[in-house]
Structure 1
Amino acid sequence: MKTTSPSSYDEMLNADGSVRPAYAGYCQWYDEQPPDLLRRKGSEAEAFFRRTGITFNVYGNEDAEERLIPFDMVPRIITAQQWRKLSRGIEQRVRALNAFLHDLYHRQEIVRSGRLPARLLKGNVAFLPEMVGFTPPGGVYTHIVGIDLVRTGEDDFMVLEDNARTPSGVSYMLENRETMMAMFPELFTRVRVREVSDYPRRLARSLAACAPPACDGKKPVVAVLTPGIYNSAYFEHAFLADQMGAELVEGSDLRIENGRIAMRTTRGYEPIDVLYRRVDDEYLDPLTFNPNSVLGVSGIMDVYRAGGITIANAPGTGICDDKAIYSFMPEIVEFYTGEKPILQNVPTWRCAEPESLKYVLDNLAELVVKEVHGSGGYGMLIGPTSSRKELAAFEAKLRAKPENYIAQPTLSLSTVPILTKAGLAPRHVDLRPFVLVSPNGIDITPGGLTRVALKKGSLVVNSSQGGGTKDSWVLDD
């Protein structure tokens, strides 16, 4: 069962090949199974995903076919003790993010103090002047947050990026667990794993707690706003609406009635209290943002500012997804919490700064360079795996617009085993825990979405770039 890689931290095995405590129960079970069991179950899982419709689209793909996200049958396992420490760091960071957003859209004390350069806001499309001076219902900006974590050692978890706008992937976390429980029910009687299946109920409760003043004490009506069936995450939108018992709506289903956002039903138009939007800011309101948008609702920002509806996540939260802002998160956490960050950032060079740019250009072949507003693994350079031609082309981009990029070291990401034709083999992973925020507090789902680079040696885990997913287990005490 040896899967160790000499340059990476193996989450299952020690350097001498012995099993780490997190995987002890699982490995004992695995060794008792027939050799071809997991492969047969893997085929069953793929058929299940196809029947269920668990697919995603890749934008810009010529054939634009829907694809399955590859699912690996070997879970990623975290001990209860490790999770407690992670949870403290995640909660601290999410508290800081919400305080930061409130400050940015009000007095901007962090800018006045000199801790954050004003240039990061000036001309930044993710910073919305329309939100200045307005506080969302309950004071919550980021109702749903995804914090991407990477691991480089026993207790060395670092934040790779923050997803505070419209984090996706939670449906895969839930379906991965359901699939594992259906395929290996006996395994869950032997290894005590914390539950994730109640996430939709917790999400519905958290959103309802952020009802706007116009709700006036009544049971809040929650709806999920989707761009439609051609969106890459449409399966997730429909899945979450169904699991929460909420309506799934498109912009064409909504209109303003009596100062409220109302949705079309068989009984006529009925007001919505909380709109969980999976539409980007730019397309949310054609009267305020992109006038050509047909995905949002004309006038919704006016209703929002008047207290007629809660939008989750709040418009303007995308500023926290900005990778230049990310590089200041240690200062942000300390400024708003008065505490040192529990979870560290990955070391980051800001290419907008001349000295950093010089270092990045001199060491381009050893670094990972990312667009400040990029996502999904696009628009980035992984120096060690790039050709001279690719390095030269990216150098030209950096010199032309250095403020568009940040750079980070090529990390030795931890590995967990996946099932291959030759047996278990190590592959690099990251982890996206999902966090719910309401006036009642911060609720962190135990586990999250583990994304895995299925190609040997690859560091890119995004599904659009050939990665897959696996079930994430947090062990019970």
Structure 2
Amino acid sequence: QIYAHISGIDLVRNQDGQYYVLEDNLRTPSGVSYMIESRHISEQLLKHQLESSRILPVNTYPQMLKESLIECSQKEDPSIVVLTPGRYNSAYYEHTFLAREMGVPLVHGYDLYVENNKVFMRTVLGPHPVDVIYRRLDDDFLDPLVMNPSSILGVPGLMAAYRSGNVMIANAPGTGVGDDKSIYPYVGKMIEFYLGEKPILHNVPTWICREKDDLSYVLSHLDELVVKETQGSGGYGMLIGPKATKDEINEYKKRIVADPAGFIAQPTLALSTCPTCVEEGVAPRHIDLRPFVLSSPDKVRLSAGGLTRVALRKGSLVVNSSQGGGVKDTWVMQPSIAE
């Protein structure tokens, strides 16, 4: 059974030339619409270069996603909806984009209801059964009867329908544990244990602050490390030691000492750079790459490209769009006949 139907894996390349997995995004990975829209811009500005370079398309992703969800449902023609928290969500554009491109309804929690452990959508023609929910809101808000009782974004009774096997939720509730940065250091060992093989891509070396020896090392090397909150996201709540002032380091040190289990630390990587158009002209800026992986019982599909995020501020290592980062189109070339 598939639980993480859509994955967004953040990759970086260090100065040693090796690729590393920086983060796993399994709850509600976002950014695929920016991948597609940045390609549309390239098609307008660099049409000849795209055609002559035999670049693989990325606009097939929505159809790939729909095909993967259908396979996961194990139904010939399932009823699929995209569940959004609404227009005030920062990724709402992507929710509407994917629903439109897949040709499925975009719904809010109030558009759905549960009866006899089955999910229905309210329509002008009456109730319509729902088989697959591609949810774009966090676990806490899915069902006020089980999770956050004050949530008005979810569907009362949804978890009962899910446990009864009457609806598929992508990604499954609980997959967000894979996003937890305190789980991240153990992914390599999980791969070895469950698959009996070594991971091809390695994680960034990580100190776990809840471990006594790791905590001692981190506290004495804060000016050299990147420290992250285990529950943090979006580039918020981080300390980048080499860029921080002494006062910032001291304040962050107090936070770590107060709650060691809430933090991990990693070496400050020299992320690869890419020529980028900025105000002063073309200059190198740090980047990472988020390919999107779709998993079903039949096959694993991979986007022919990915979301390349770029830190637009000079010297910055923070590529998140919420922190002023930008996006670059990523080209994957078709292999030649000789290859």
Superposed, which structure 2 residues align to 1:287-436 within 5 Å?
287-436=145-294
In structure 1, distance between residues paired with 2:207 and 2:116: 51
Cα deviation code 1:369-422 (max 9, x no counterpart): 000111000111000111111100000011110010000000000001001344
Q: 167, 190, 194: which one pairs with 2:29?
A: 167
Report if aligned partners of 2:79, 2:132 keep a CA contact under 8 Å in 1: yes
Report if aligned partners of 1:367, 1:383 keep a CA contact under 8 Å in 2: yes
Shift of 1:211: 1.4
Report if aligned partners of 2:15, 2:270 keep a CA contact under 8 Å in 1: no
Shift of 1:182: 2.1
Q: Kindly indicate whether residue 41 of structure 2 is the aligned counterpart of residue 176 of structure 1.
A: no
Report if aligned partners of 1:333, 1:339 keep a CA contact under 8 Å in 2: yes
Look up the match of 1:202.
Answer: 64
Query: In structure 1, the residue corresponding to 2:305 is in which secondary structure?
Result: coil
In structure 1, distance between residues paired with 2:50 and 2:331: 11
In structure 2, distance between residues paired with 1:419 and 1:293: 43
From the superposition, tell whether residues 272 and 349 of structure 1 become closer, same or farther in structure 2 (CA, over 3 Å). same
Shift of 1:183: 2.3
Shift of 1:259: 3.2
**Which amino acid letter does the alignment assign opposite residue 68 of structure 2?**
S
Shift of 1:316: 0.3
Shift of 1:330: 1.3
Report if aligned partners of 1:281, 1:289 keep a CA contact under 8 Å in 2: yes
Report if aligned partners of 2:278, 2:312 keep a CA contact under 8 Å in 1: no
Report if aligned partners of 1:150, 1:160 keep a CA contact under 8 Å in 2: yes
Report if aligned partners of 1:147, 1:434 keep a CA contact under 8 Å in 2: yes
Shift of 1:329: 1.2
Shift of 1:184: 2.1
Query: Please, what is the CA RMSD of the aligned residues?
Result: 1.1
Structure 2 residues without counterparts, runs of 5 or longer: none
In structure 1, distance between residues paired with 2:101 and 2:188: 36
Shift of 1:218: 4.6
Look up the match of 1:223.
Answer: 81
Report if aligned partners of 2:70, 2:76 keep a CA contact under 8 Å in 1: no
Shift of 1:276: 0.1
Look up the match of 1:279.
Answer: 137
Superposed, which structure 2 residues align to 1:7-406 within 5 Å?
139-153=1-15, 155-211=17-73, 217-406=75-264
**Which amino acid letter does the alignment assign opposite residue 129 of structure 2?**
P
Query: In structure 2, the residue corresponding to 1:474 is in which secondary structure?
Result: coil
From the superposition, tell whether residues 282 and 157 of structure 1 become closer, same or farther in structure 2 (CA, over 3 Å). same
In structure 1, distance between residues paired with 2:201 and 2:61: 24
In structure 1, distance between residues paired with 2:250 and 2:17: 37
In structure 2, distance between residues paired with 1:391 and 1:421: 31
Report if aligned partners of 1:210, 1:274 keep a CA contact under 8 Å in 2: no
In structure 1, distance between residues paired with 2:144 and 2:151: 5
- Size of the aligned set, in residue pairs, is 335
Using the size of structure 2 for normalisation, the TM-score is 0.97
Using the size of structure 1 for normalisation, the TM-score is 0.69
In structure 2, distance between residues paired with 1:458 and 1:414: 12
Shift of 1:177: 0.6
Structure 1 residues without counterparts, runs of 5 or longer: 1-138
In structure 2, distance between residues paired with 1:142 and 1:334: 19
Report if aligned partners of 1:366, 1:409 keep a CA contact under 8 Å in 2: yes
Residue range with higher mean Cα deviation, 225-234 or 175-184: 175-184
Look up the match of 1:33.
Answer: none
Q: If you compute each CA radius of gyration, which structure gives the higher value, 1 or 2?
A: 1
In structure 2, distance between residues paired with 1:154 and 1:448: 22
Cα deviation code 1:342-385 (max 9, x no counterpart): 00000100000010001000000010000011100011100011
Shift of 1:163: 0.3
Runs of 4+, deviation exceeding 4 Å = none
Report if aligned partners of 1:415, 1:427 keep a CA contact under 8 Å in 2: yes
Look up the match of 1:42.
Answer: none
In structure 1, distance between residues paired with 2:242 and 2:279: 28
**Which amino acid letter does the alignment assign opposite residue 397 of structure 1?**
R
**Which amino acid letter does the alignment assign opposite residue 202 of structure 1?**
M
Shift of 1:150: 0.4
Query: In structure 1, the residue corresponding to 2:154 is in which secondary structure?
Result: coil
